[in-house]
Amino acid sequence: MDILRKEKEVFEKKIGTLMTDINSLSNTVDDMTAENRQLRRMANVPDNYGMKLETIKLYDKERIEDFKKLIKVL
């Protein structure tokens, strides 16, 4: 019985830590969203500009691979 209580306490502590991390990440995302919204206003870019994020991520990955190839050559 004591072993189960200790396991439960450890589990609950881990859940508490993870919830703290999730809340922190959520706040960071909220801050970034607010900053993005403000920068769009400042640059007169509409909210529905519509860039596909997957395309941007793929382009970034390709650039990283290109840089890795260049580093190997050098």
Model confidence pTM above 0.85: no
* pLDDT confidence tier of residue 70, bands split at 50, 70 and 90: confident
| Mean per-residue pLDDT over the chain, rounded | 88
DSSP 9-60: HHHHHHHHHHHHHHHHHHHHHHHHHHHHHHHHHHTT--TT----HHHHHHHH
Query: What's the pLDDT score for residue 47?
Result: 72
Residue 6, pLDDT > 90, answer yes
Compute CA distances 38 → 24, 35, 57, 66, 69, whole Å: 21, 5, 22, 33, 37
Residue 20, pLDDT > 90, answer yes
Query: What's the pLDDT score for residue 72?
Result: 85
Query: What's the pLDDT score for residue 56?
Result: 78
